[in-house]
């Protein structure tokens, strides 16, 4: 069984990005806005800060207390020439504000690709496609199931895959997931620990688990633990180091490009 190791691929991308940053006139600056200290959010913010430091990029972690404070910070950052990219670290405490706040980010600075006029594709969706391509997983003539229709992964990835002419069926956590056994490639991103069980997956399937949640202080994916003990799968992402590292790499790729665009 092939392990889809995103950390390994991200390492090569990171070296290239560090070289790019050294050649830029000004250092890119990423602003991360969040409104809570959820363990998953804190983990990813800290990973982005470290990644930025490693490649020579400035990263600011701004903790907002309300949607109004997020709005004010975005409006200010949109006008600040020293800030190359802006992201809102999701999920927000009040998820109802997600779309309106993401849409406030100026298109040239929307490096997560979540706003209505985003110039860049979703970083996580891009990472999943990079991961599959990096391990020579051919999507053509394959039945692809996408579990989760969220703004961060499911919705943009569904659009990207269908626009490329692939056969994709979209599921959500309330769907009849026993039907997943009909699919060759299963990509899941619901944040529901253990949602995808062993009985839902056929032999020789490819599994990409992009779901992350905290359960009793432990980070968990959508795929149940017993799935990972199977030896008859074609490929699967590891518990850690699958999609996450490449998501960060894709985000900083967008940031570097945004920085270049700001002075060209």
| pLDDT for residue 150 is more than 90 | no
Q: Are residues 169 and 196 in the same domain?
A: yes
Q: Are residues 88 and 130 in the same domain?
A: no
Q: What is the DSSP-derived secondary structure letter of residue 97?
A: G
| pLDDT for residue 141 is more than 70 | yes
Distance CA 179, CA 183 (A): 8
Confirm if 23 and 55 have CB atoms less than 8 A apart.
no
Sorting pLDDT into bands at 50, 70 and 90, what band is 184?
Answer: very high
Sheet with 58-63, side-by-side order of all strands: 58-63, 29-34, 85-88
| pLDDT for residue 240 is more than 90 | no
Burial profile 233-253: b = 16 or more Cβ within 10 angstroms, e = fewer: bebbbeeebbbbbbbbbbbbb
Has residue 5 been placed in a domain?
no
Q: Are residues 93 and 160 in the same domain?
A: no
HSE-CB of 197 using CA atoms within 13 angstroms: 6
Query: Domain range for residue 113?
Result: 22-121+245-262
Distance CA 236, CA 76 (A): 42
Mean pLDDT of 118-138: 95
Distance CA 102, CA 99 (A): 5
Q: Are residues 176 and 163 in the same domain?
A: yes
Domains: count for the chain: 2
Distance CA 88, CA 33 (A): 5
What global pTM score does this model have?
A: 0.91
- In the prediction, which pLDDT does 32 show? 98
- In the prediction, which pLDDT does 264 show? 63
Q: Are residues 117 and 127 in the same domain?
A: no
Distance CA 81, CA 76 (A): 10
Average pLDDT score, the chain:
94
Q: Are residues 80 and 183 in the same domain?
A: no
Q: Are residues 92 and 151 in the same domain?
A: no
Confirm if 173 and 213 have CB atoms less than 8 A apart.
no
- In the prediction, which pLDDT does 212 show? 81
Q: Are residues 136 and 167 in the same domain?
A: yes
Sorting pLDDT into bands at 50, 70 and 90, what band is 167?
Answer: very high
Mean pLDDT of 95-104: 94
Q: What is the DSSP-derived secondary structure letter of residue 92?
A: P
Mean pLDDT of 29-53: 94
């Amino acid at each position: 069984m092939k392990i889809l190791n995103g950390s390994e691929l991200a390492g090569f991308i990171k070296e290239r990005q560090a070289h790019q940053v050294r050649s830029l006139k000004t250092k890119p600056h990423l602003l991360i806005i969040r409104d809570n200290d959820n363990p998953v959010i804190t983990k990813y913010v800290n990973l982005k800060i470290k990644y930025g430091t490693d490649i020579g990029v400035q990263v600011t972690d701004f903790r907002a207390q309300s949607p109004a404070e997020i709005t004010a910070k975005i409006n200010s950052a949109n006008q600040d020439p020293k800030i190359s990219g802006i992201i809102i670290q999701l999920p927000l405490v009040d998820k109802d504000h997600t779309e309106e706040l993401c849409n406030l980010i100026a298109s040239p600075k929307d490096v997560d690709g979540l706003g209505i006029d985003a110039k860049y594709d979703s970083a996580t969706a891009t990472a999943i496609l990079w991961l599959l391509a990096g391990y020579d997983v051919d999507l053509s003539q394959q039945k692809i199931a996408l579990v989760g229709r969220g703004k961060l992964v499911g919705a943009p990835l569904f659009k990207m895959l269908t626009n490329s002419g692939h056969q994709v069926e979209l599921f959500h956590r309330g769907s009849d997931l026993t039907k997943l056994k009909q699919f060759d490639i299963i990509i899941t991103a619901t944040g529901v620990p253990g949602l995808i069980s062993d009985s839902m997956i056929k032999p020789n399937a490819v599994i990409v688990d992009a779901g992350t949640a905290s359960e009793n202080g432990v980070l968990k994916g959508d795929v149940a633990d017993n799935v990972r003990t199977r030896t008859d799968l074609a490929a699967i992402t590891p518990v850690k180091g699958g999609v996450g590292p490449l998501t960060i790499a894709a985000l900083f790729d967008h940031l570097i490009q945004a920085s270049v665009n700001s002075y060209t």
